[in-house]
């Protein structure tokens, strides 16, 4: 049956949709790199979160209150390192490709369930969104790799004085946004693989040949 033949694509669509949501949300979060400072002072924060589009600095006051200040990036900021600039564009492209893929899958599913595809279809209608999802997966993975290598190499960032945070932390680790992006990359790959694995029902192909 047509509906049965496309049932796996619904699962792939769900995986790709979740991947797009995670990719979009992770871009807006500052927790890509978490910087810790062992001996906080008045001029030194206790923690700094480094994201794709903003940095959040946490200062601990003497009364144990935590003050948070976030600073947005702009394309004019020269202090942003190359790995963050590259990751910004890769994630934006991935989100855009994921959105196009979702629309393409919805159109393909609509044609299948309404019977508008089978009279002339001799190709996989999910091939295009499948390729887009796999490309998005690769781009998100490259963004993750850039940031992970920066954490491993303990790279610093020369923030301007207005950020009130040192350019190099005492320790740094992976943040939750990077973990979300990793899951997004995996789900994009799963959704794309399921789309590419779709095959036309045999009775449909026979009907076309006749």
Q: What is the pLDDT of residues 88-145, one digit of tens each?
A: 999 999 999 999 999 998 888 887 777 665 555 566 778 889 999 999 999 999 999 9
Q: What is the distance of C-alpha 126 from the center of its chain? A: 21
Q: What pLDDT, on a 0 to 100 scale, did the predictor assign at position 207?
A: 42
User: Could you give the CA distance from residue 102 to residue 86 in angstroms, rounded to a whole number?
Assistant: 24
Is 128 inside a domain boundary?
A: yes
Residue 93 within a domain? yes
Q: Tell me the average pLDDT of the chain.
A: 85
Is residue 15 a part of any domain in this protein?
A: yes
Are the C-beta atoms of residues 191 and 9 closer than 8 Å to each other? no
Q: What is the pLDDT of residue 53?
A: 94
Task: Supply the pLDDT for residue 40.
Answer: 57
Residue 113's region, left for phi above 0, alpha for psi from -120 to 50, else beta, is: alpha
Name the DSSP class of 168.
Answer: S
Residue 105 · residue 129 · CB < 8 Å: yes
Confidence of residue 4 (pLDDT cuts 50, 70, 90): low
pTM for the whole structure: 0.85
- In sequence order, the β-bridge partners of residue 67 are 59
CATH of the domain at 111: 1.20.140
Distance CA 31, CA 195 (A): 32
CA dihedral 62, 68, 69, 72 (to 10 degrees): 150
Domain region containing 21: 2-31+79-163+176-203
Q: Is residue 65 part of a domain?
A: no
* Helix/strand/coil for 33: strand
Residue at 194 is within a domain = yes
In a domain, 63, yes or no: no
- Cβ pair 190, 198 in contact under 8 A: no
**Residue 40 counted as domain residue:** no
Q: Is 43 a member of any domain?
A: no
| Domain count within the chain | 1
């Amino acid at each position: 049956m047509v509906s049965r033949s496309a049932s796996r694509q619904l699962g792939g669509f769900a995986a790709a949709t979740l991947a797009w949501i995670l990719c979009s949300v992770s871009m807006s979060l500052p927790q890509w790199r978490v910087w810790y400072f062992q001996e906080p002072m008045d001029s030194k924060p206790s923690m700094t979160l480094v994201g794709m589009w903003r940095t959040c600095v946490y200062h601990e006051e003497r009364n144990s209150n935590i003050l948070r200040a976030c600073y947005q990036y702009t394309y004019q900021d020269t202090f942003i390192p190359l790995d963050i600039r590259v990751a910004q564009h890769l994630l934006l492209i991935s989100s855009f490709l994921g959105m196009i893929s979702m629309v393409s899958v919805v159109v393909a599913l609509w044609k299948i369930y309404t019977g508008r595809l089978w009279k002339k279809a001799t190709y996989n209608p999910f091939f295009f969104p499948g390729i887009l999802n796999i490309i998005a997966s690769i781009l998100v993975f490259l963004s993750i790799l850039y940031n992970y290598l920066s954490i491993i190499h303990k790279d610093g960032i020369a923030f301007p004085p207005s950020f009130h945070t040192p350019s190099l932390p005492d320790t740094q680790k992976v943040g939750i946004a990077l973990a979300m992006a990793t899951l997004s990359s995996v789900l994009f790959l799963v959704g794309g693989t399921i789309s590419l694995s779709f095959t036309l029902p045999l009775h449909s192909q026979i009907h076309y040949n006749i």
